[in-house]
Structure 1
Amino acid sequence: MKSATFEYHRPETLAEALALLAELGDEAKLLAGGQSLVPMLALRLAYFDHLIDIARLPELRGIAVADGWLRVGAGETEAAVGRDAVVSGAVPLLTRATPLIGHFQIRNRGTLCGSVAHADPAGEYPTVALTLDAEMVAASASGGERTIAGAEFFTGLWSTALEPDEMLVAVRFPVWSGRAGFAVEEFARRSGDFAIAGAAVAVELDGDDRVARAAIGLLGMASVPLRAPAAERAVVGQRVDTLDPAELGALAMSELDDVPADLQGSAAYRTRVGATMVTRAWTSAIKEAAGQTAGAEGAIHG
């Protein structure tokens, strides 16, 4: 199939792009990498009268650390994020999630902010953003910039808290310090497929090998990316040698309602897989935080 007809706009500046978005409203869609949008248009799962191409706007470029935050501009591709030394030093979880996104052709075109704004519940970057309490920087012609907390950003399947005239111009990730470990684990039928279930884990240990803080994110388990707050609360203050990773995985699943069922598997199957992914990610993250060698990311293909 081919997409329905639309009018193509290629603004030269961010201000021009925001003005177009304000003028056209719901009739327009922003185009950055297009790795999610273009297939949906081609299959006529989505239709817009206007596409606004923002891929070449210089104001949307840039990866930098300042005041304890890593800022990634909306023009940065997933491949650029995955190979950037600043990213790997500041937010390792991003670096480890990147190879799990589709194929290298997709990562060469797709953008981090585009993935976050697309809000796919099986998306790696949305899950990492939620797990790390990232901040989304939105901009509009009328209101300027505002910051949206990660916990408030994802509102439903493929939907966010962005207003029709707003653009996601950057995502800010907090930089963890101390004895921290990070891991991403997911299960997919084939390499490049969307994950059936997965987990992203960040953990920090104190000097007595107690969990100082923990963040556990879940992908593919609902219509939005999720956190596992009960599991996070249960581990904080506990010595790591007293924690059972398998029990933690089960606890992370215990709060879930309406786990999706589809051709990939039943809700019960997805729940079992999700528990296993939490168990494996937690184990790897703890090993890294404790200074041991760990394979901190991985994908399993059935």
Structure 2
Amino acid sequence: MKPAPFDYHAPATIDEAVALLARLDGEGRDAKILAGGQSLMPMLALRVARPEILVDLRRLGTLDYIRDEAGTLAIGAMTSKQAAADSALVRRAQPLFQAATELVGHRQIRNRGSVGGSFAHADPASEYPAVALVLDTGFEAAGPDGSRTIAAADFFITYMTTALEPTEILTAVRFAPFPAGRRWAIEEFARRNGDLALAGVTVTFDVDAGLCRNVRIAAFGVQATALRLTAAEALLEGRPAQAAQFDAASKEAAAALDDPMSCIHASSAYRRHLVGVLTARALGQAAARPH
């Protein structure tokens, strides 16, 4: 199929883009931001999305950067995923985010898809929202009233829906410092390499005197958005970093899921089972990681 007809704009500055979105919103026009297009263009071709207007951010070169800002890793929204995957700074400062990025599609997709576009798209099968939940990620948005920062816990609302207003643009993603020695892992299951995950789990925790501390576990691909598995976190907090505890936490992670999604590729029960298996696997991998 071909996309439904739409008007096209490519503003040259952030201020111009925000002003355009504000005007279109005031006119009651349905506008969609294009920030790489690796998720949006297939939706347009299938007419799953039929916006009246596309606002292309490709000319906003000021949003293409990766830098250290006083210990905080800042990534501009228009930075390509492949640039993030290849960055020595990202690998050193946020190894979990770098590893998650390498799981996204194939290199050709990562070359074109933007970091900000993926976060704003908020696909429940995407690795990024779950990673954001365990990494204290902040999302910087620019709108008619200026800039604001949205915490990851407040950013993802439901299926492909975020806290961004129709008149706002995601300009940057910021990661709090990743403590030295923190354990991490991300595990997912997909039908083929590069496919969207049927289910996935990401974990971070510290080990202090053999005990798990600051445990964070998040799942993706199982509900309308990524979610923290807080019951499993609580079960593991302060307990020995051992296989028996990981097994108990993985069972709790699976049991705590509220009606996982179901589709022709994976039933609700199968996704629940996957979350248990992947949680145990991720915890064990994280514990064994050199530190």
Alignment correspondent of 2:257: 256
Q: Deviations over 1:175-213 (max 9, x none)?
A: 22132121111001111111111111111122x122221
TM-superposed CA distance for 1:243, in Å, is 4.4
Amino acid of the structure 2 residue aligned with 1:151? A
TM-superposed CA distance for 1:126, in Å, is 1.6
Separation in 1, partners of 2:251, 2:73: 32
Matches within 5 A, 1:51-66: 51-66=54-69
Separation in 2, partners of 1:135, 1:99: 21
Does residue 167 of structure 1 match 2:169?
yes
Does the 8 Å contact 2:255/2:272 carry over to 1?
A: no
Amino acid of the structure 1 residue aligned with 2:110? R
Matches within 5 A, 1:1-302: 1-25=1-25, 27-140=30-143, 142-206=144-208, 208-241=209-242, 243-288=244-289, 291=291
Does the 8 Å contact 1:156/1:224 carry over to 2?
A: yes
Does the 8 Å contact 1:113/1:171 carry over to 2?
A: yes
Q: Superposition RMSD on alpha carbons, in Å?
A: 1.3
Separation in 1, partners of 2:245, 2:213: 17
Question: What secondary structure is seen at the aligned counterpart in 1 of 2:242?
Answer: helix
TM-superposed CA distance for 1:236, in Å, is 1.9
| Structure 2 unaligned blocks of 5 or more | none
TM-superposed CA distance for 1:242, in Å, is 7.0
List 4+ stretches of structure 1 deviating above 3 A: none
**What fraction of aligned residue pairs are identical, expressed as a percent?**
44
Question: What secondary structure is seen at the aligned counterpart in 2 of 1:88?
Answer: helix
- TM-score, normalization by structure 2: 0.95
Does the 8 Å contact 1:4/1:41 carry over to 2?
A: yes
Separation in 2, partners of 1:33, 1:277: 30
- TM-score, normalization by structure 1: 0.92
Amino acid of the structure 2 residue aligned with 1:101? V
Amino acid of the structure 2 residue aligned with 1:61? D
Separation in 2, partners of 1:151, 1:264: 29
Amino acid of the structure 1 residue aligned with 2:170? L
| Structure 1 unaligned blocks of 5 or more | 292-302
Does the 8 Å contact 1:185/1:198 carry over to 2?
A: yes
Separation in 2, partners of 1:214, 1:63: 27
Does the 8 Å contact 1:56/1:75 carry over to 2?
A: no
TM-superposed CA distance for 1:241, in Å, is 3.0
